[in-house]
Structure 1
Amino acid sequence: MNPKLKSLYANPIMGAFIALLGACIFFATQSDRFLSGQNFSLILQQVMVIGVIAIGQTLIILTAGIDLSCGMAMALGSIIMTKFATALGLNPAVAVLAGILVCVLIGYVNGMLVTRVRLPAFIVTLGMLNIVFAITQLYSNGQTVTDIPQSMLFLGTTFSIGGTNVAYGAVLMLALYLITWIFLRDTSPGRHIYAVGNNPEAARLTGIATNKVLLGVYSLAGLFYGIAALLSVARLGVGDPQAGQTDNLDSITAVVLGGTSLFGGRGLVLGTLIGVLIVGVFRNGLTLMGVPSVFQILITGILVILAVTVDQMTKKKG
């Protein structure tokens, strides 16, 4: 095998970075507005919700699982937050906490069904997607929740750096990636996640409580969905029951593009961040070029297939 190609297989995150750099160079030649600081800030704002969801998705995929309910969990969390604060008149902090706890509960139930009932993660989260979607629609009556307290919109506000307005929510997203990267790299629970994803039986024989690891991963993923719900409310300024319907696929796209293996046990959360940025850059760049949204979806689908193909080839070469 070509040494350069072999190196790319060994470090898939480098391939994602090259793809991101190539996309930026291409779109810079197509639009004068692409390289502006304000446009890059806009990209970060556009991907901050899916970016945080993708952190939870990364943790689950590292264990060789998958979560199709993440977008709907986020949507229900946002409705709980906004309805509790407006209809029930609760303190915004209490309402936000309630929304996050509901998302954690969803993740916990997913984890219990995967570990105790031994159901496949795909089936569990597919069923949970429909259950949570129905609950969201019933509780909200399909109506957008408005008149949100200003304190719940703080993460959607911006501050200026060198004349460029940066959203606090984007900074939070980047901080969460850094914290998760350190957690996975430098802590025993983080290394256990990789071990369970790589070979659950071998991990069990070495004394790792695999069920506890999986239950913790799904619950932790729910926590990230809850944070994403708050970011969604802050960015949109409303509680939208229709939000998150494609976020499950978008988050999986970001994880796969970032080099995390769908077979589990291999990947970096910082690669997911690059994958999120790839999706954001492509959609932003194509919008600046005036390309219809349907072609943006087409290109995203092609990118996913290419990334999974590389993942499959990497597994065989390994």
Structure 2
Amino acid sequence: MNQAITIQNSSKPAEESKKKNSLLGRIAHLSSYEQVSDSFLSFLTTACSEKGFILFPVEDRLTVVFQHGVDMTSCVRMVPEQTSFAEICQKNDWSFFSDSELDVFTSYFSTRERASLVMIAIHPLSLEEETGYLVLVQSRLSLERNQIDTESVLMLIKDFELMLNKNISLLSALSVRNNLMMNSLADKEKMYSAFEERRSASLFSISFELIFPDYEKIETDFDSFTLYRAMVTMIIKQAGPASIVHKKKNYSLRMILFTASETDYDLYIHQMKKPLEKLFGHSRIKKVEIKYEGTARTSDYALDFLAGER
């Protein structure tokens, strides 16, 4: 593929090392989410790119887990097959697309974003045993309209990959796109079985209102969309198979935890939040309100609780 945009000359080694150390220094002591977000934004700044995203492999496709400057429609549509992406991109270097070469991306961008595209630069990312991609976008919608400078970030690629691999669990959670509404029939069967075994049913309500005051933003802002789903995914994972979690219309959760004996709910809430704090940050998870709502003695009471009637 032809490189349509002139790439600026590489900086001196000392300057490259300074950029690298500056990037690594800024992400120290941050949560996984802030580490990836901050280093990604620093990477874009160094590359003079106002738009871009990270594609993460999920089964046979790729999905956007972090983005900057790209509209939500494009981020949601950007789910190419891994094989088709691998066919058009170089294995260990930048691939550049411009003019008619951009036609291959038509179905992945909104009409507005597609009409404004000038050039796309893509570099593969080695993520454990699979391949993700770093995508830089040059657009007429960008405020500065700078030329993308891939030479200036060559020394950052390996460290960027290393940082991403240390945060694979976060990227995996952010990549979840399946419907979070639970299987009511399976949940009822689990519930009836638990009560027959005389297991204790502890009830919890979980609110994200302090993080998302306007919960409709979850449906219109891609970063809020992925962050919410990632947190819910990890909560469900933390709760484990001996639980039932339902999402309400206001994006709050109702959860039932089945145990052999009464639960120390303060300890349980503390233990649930700890891994979430590591991934998403203490200050953010502190705003997730997890409240113990008592116990259910019957399946009818438990069903009413899940429905928000208790």
- Between 1 and 2, higher relative CO (CA 8 Å, sep ≥ 6) is seen in 1
Give TM class, smaller chain.
Answer: under 0.3
Q: Whose helix fraction is larger, Structure 1's or Structure 2's?
A: 1
